[in-house]
Amino acid sequence: MDDAAVRRYLSSGHGRVSGSVAAAGTGYRVRWREPDAAGGIGPGGHVRDLPLPPGAQLVRAGGTGEQVIATYQAGPDRWVAAGTPAGVPPAARPDG
């Protein structure tokens, strides 16, 4: 996924993901902790239209480590850019 595709994904507020499950790697990925929205699907598995739990993160991984790009917030469903202060309206956010 390239940077433009990531910006479109974030601005649309998608609350679902599809793709391959991987333990690590480079590029963009969505990750979350318990509760396990994937129902225990491990690396090598595939998901389609999997609903994200609140707190899921979009991260960019590369040779210098990981950078959290945005966190998924429910009610209303939306992605919030990392570093956005609480109470900033969606239109004023980098991902809004």
**What is the extent of the structural domain holding 44?**
3-92
In which band, very low, low, confident or very high, does the pLDDT at 8 lie, cut at 50, 70 and 90? confident
How many domains does the chain divide into?
Answer: 1
CA-nearest of 36, 25, 23 to 1 is 25
DSSP 3-state of 41: coil
Q: How many residues does the chain have?
A: 96
- 43 has a pLDDT exceeding 60: yes
In which band, very low, low, confident or very high, does the pLDDT at 95 lie, cut at 50, 70 and 90? very low
